[in-house]
Amino acid sequence: MLMFDEMQQRGHEQVTLLSHVPSGLRAVLAIHSTVLGPAIAGCRLVMLDEDLVLKGALALSESMTLKAALTGLNYGGASCVLLSPDNLTSEEGSDAQGHAREALFRALGRQISHFGGRLILTEDVRVSGQDIAYVAQETNSTMGMNTDTAAATAYGVYRGIKAAARFTLGSESMRNVRVAILGVGTVGRLLAELLHREGARLLLSDTQAERAEALGSSLDNSQAMDTQSLLDAPCDILAPCAFGYSIRSQDVPRLQCRLIAGAEHHPLSRSSEELVREAGIAYIPDFAINGAGLIASAHNLTPEAAGEKIYGIVSRIAALAEQHHKPPHLVARKLAERRIELIGSLGRA
């Protein structure tokens, strides 16, 4: 990947590499935009190649910009992706591992403090509220450590799916609707439980097969299967809730769904989005449907209240898409970019 070409194409302001050898801190911090306000950086902990970490940080930060704009928040977008250090798992005893985690996130906090309020850190995948509390010992630039962001995100995705289904399937009822959930970590599992309560018929898959099997055995009308089989399975809704880019371009012709809507950040590449459009599959993008956790953190709302805001956002996108005969993912992007353009112009007047 050509880093500067990618930054310029997406419109990034800054990419910084963070390092602190004693704590094992190695991170990519990407600031996409501060036009609307300080950039909210979702912080996630990964075990990936360095090139994939950079690619992920660039994509995640752009999504956060669009998410903040679409949800009406006065924040920009950023991302902080940490490479998981060996000492988080290699040190013996839970106390030792706890100290290693504290050191890692306090080291991150000290480096974030140098950005002078231009950046606000919040939790993302494999980063907990306690981790952000460690960061907060070193900087005030944090958000959401006392919010159950996973519960809010899952409920928002659930409500967003219902809003989209009203336009694509003709009803927002999930009874007997076939939903394939790709990735049943914390958010995917909570989403599955919400859909199950309403009578949906679930297909479940995860890279950790035992996780999908355990969930499938605990929910009626649910079936666990491997990821490749799930992509081939006939369903009404495909809900990606994995780690990113889980639907590749070569996978699109295999899909037998009518709607793609899930919690996963950037489940499709730009080329895959075009292929989905050509296949006649409606796609609700991540930044339009998975923002309830951010809304709950920013406004101190319950998951239910934040989820209702997502329902309204997705309903508006779907209605405009139907009215103007446009794909919903393009409508969502246009709405977000237009708000950034208009509100950003106030500072230049």
Give the residue numbers of the binding site for NAD(+): 183-188
Contact yes or no for 299/144 (Cβ under 8 A): no
Q: How, if at all, do strands 25-33 and 14-20 pair?
A: antiparallel
Give the DSSP H/E element, type plus range, for residue 14. Answer: strand 14-20
d(CA 82, CA 59): 15
| 277: its two tokens | 């459009």
Binding region: 183-188
d(CA 242, CA 267): 8
How many Cα atoms are found within 13 Å in the side-chain-facing hemisphere of 274? 2
DSSP string for residues in 289-301: HS-HHHHHHHHT-
Contact yes or no for 11/32 (Cβ under 8 A): yes
Question: What residues are paired with 20 via a beta bridge?
Answer: 25
Q: Which residue has the tokens 């880093």?
A: 3
DSSP string for residues in 53-75: HHHHHHHHHHHHHHHHHHTT-S-
d(CA 106, CA 182): 33
Can you tell me whether residue 102 is helix, strand or coil?
Answer: helix
Question: What residues are paired with 296 via a beta bridge?
Answer: none
C-alpha distances in Å from residue 282, one per residue of 46, 99, 161, 316: 30, 46, 11, 14
Q: How, if at all, do strands 259-260 and 282-283 pair?
A: parallel
Beta-strand runs (E) in 160-219: 178-182, 201-205
Q: Which residue has the tokens 């934040």?
A: 306
